[in-house]
Amino acid sequence: MQVAVIGAGALGCLFGGRLAADGHDVTLLHYRQAYVDAINDAGLRIESDLDDTETVEVSVPATTDAAAAGHVDLALVFVKAHQTGTALDQHAACIGPETTVLSLQNGLGHYEALCDHVGEERALAGVTYQGAVVEEPGLVEHTGNGVSTFGGADGEATARVAAILSDAGFPVETTDDPRVTIWRKQLISLPIKPLAALTRLPNGQLAADEALVDLMDRIVTEAEAVAAARGIDLPDEDFLDTVLRTCEGSAGHRSSMLQDVLAGRKTEIDAVNGAVVDIAHEEGVDVPANELVTRLVRGLERSYLD
């Protein structure tokens, strides 16, 4: 299968590299020339200490020009959620009339963005619990081998993509309605990401602070109400308990939003809590806690972004 990976960061290189090693024709797309030059010069190496996963070394072409890939069968989208529209426009040359586009990004709204760009019949979306870190361009550490769950309107396309990912060694599940899967993951990250960014605390210390736990409870409760108003049939789950167990199970981890702040990068707040606020306004739901953290993180960004 011909595959283009839009966003050749940690997860993009992980998925692209493993698919290339399994015999697929993969092209990695990135916006930075120096980054793609490094991959083209040295190849891609994926190291792992995880059980049942092996180190992969493979030569995968990387480019800033999507036209070099031509029209592909599958485009995987791994850019930051707020970059989705721009990245799809920038790399439109690889997306032909028969291309299936799959997003496993974090945040809310990317499924709708894909549907707007390529139509509902060619858009697949979901979540992944794979973990990876770029140690340097061309060198990726595989840190987590969790399940990727996705689906869309075209069940046959879902099955085809699930098959190639499974053959490449990724645990996969499929769903008829990816919105439920996407919302469930976001309900767990919604309270963690902004509070970590604002306090600069690792996950475990967030869960140990009674005042922060109360705020996390409010954020989650509001988001559940927004999901219900949107017609999202969430599973019967104590989401705050899941949030706290997630924090305790990753006590020393610094959330990706905190990592963005520490690195002086734009965060995904608009695609996370900001998206909840936008949908809440459309549905007439009051979400003061989500509005508060959204405004605070946006203000924090303005303190260091040009």
In this structure, are 163 and 32 located in the same domain?
yes
In this structure, are 149 and 82 located in the same domain?
yes
In this structure, are 228 and 118 located in the same domain?
no
Query: Into how many domains does the chain fold?
Result: 2
In this structure, are 207 and 148 located in the same domain?
no
Q: pTM for the complete prediction?
A: 0.89
Per-residue confidence of the chain (306 residues) as pLDDT tens digits?
999 999 999 999 999 999 999 999 999 999 999 999 999 999 999 998 887 778 899 999 999 999 999 999 999 999 987 788 889 999 999 999 999 999 999 888 888 889 988 999 999 999 998 988 889 999 999 988 889 999 999 999 999 999 999 999 999 999 989 999 999 999 999 999 999 999 999 999 999 999 999 999 999 999 999 999 999 999 899 999 999 999 998 888 888 899 899 999 999 999 999 999 999 999 999 999 999 999 999 999 999 997
CA–CA distance, 89 with 130 (Å, rounded to integer): 26
Closest CA to 140 of 266, 28, 249, 246: 28
- Give the start-end residues of each E strand in 169-283: 172-174
CB 143 within 8 A of CB 132: yes
CA–CA distance, 300 with 19 (Å, rounded to integer): 39
Q: Which residue has the tokens 């061309």?
A: 138
In this structure, are 240 and 130 located in the same domain?
no
> Do β-strands 62-63 and 56-58 pair in parallel, antiparallel, or remain unpaired?
unpaired
Domain that holds residue 82: 2-176
In this structure, are 6 and 99 located in the same domain?
yes
Closest CA to 142 of 10, 36, 21: 10
In this structure, are 139 and 12 located in the same domain?
yes
What is the CATH number for 274?
1.10.1040.10
In this structure, are 22 and 101 located in the same domain?
yes
In this structure, are 271 and 191 located in the same domain?
yes
Tens digits of residue pLDDT in 137-185: 999 999 888 899 999 999 999 999 999 999 999 999 999 899 999 999 9
Given 116, 149, 176, which residue is the final one in a domain?
176
Given 111, 141, 176, which residue is the final one in a domain?
176
Given 176, 195, 227, which residue is the final one in a domain?
176
In this structure, are 147 and 211 located in the same domain?
no
pLDDT, residue 279, reads 95
CA–CA distance, 3 with 101 (Å, rounded to integer): 10
In this structure, are 158 and 270 located in the same domain?
no
In this structure, are 154 and 273 located in the same domain?
no
pLDDT, residue 228, reads 96
The set of long-range contacts for 161-168, using a CB threshold of 8 Å and a minimum separation of 24, is: 161/74, 161/100, 161/102, 161/124, 164/1, 164/19, 164/22, 164/24, 164/74, 165/15, 165/19, 167/22, 168/15, 168/18, 168/19, 168/21, 168/22, 168/24
What is the CATH number for 29?
3.40.50.720
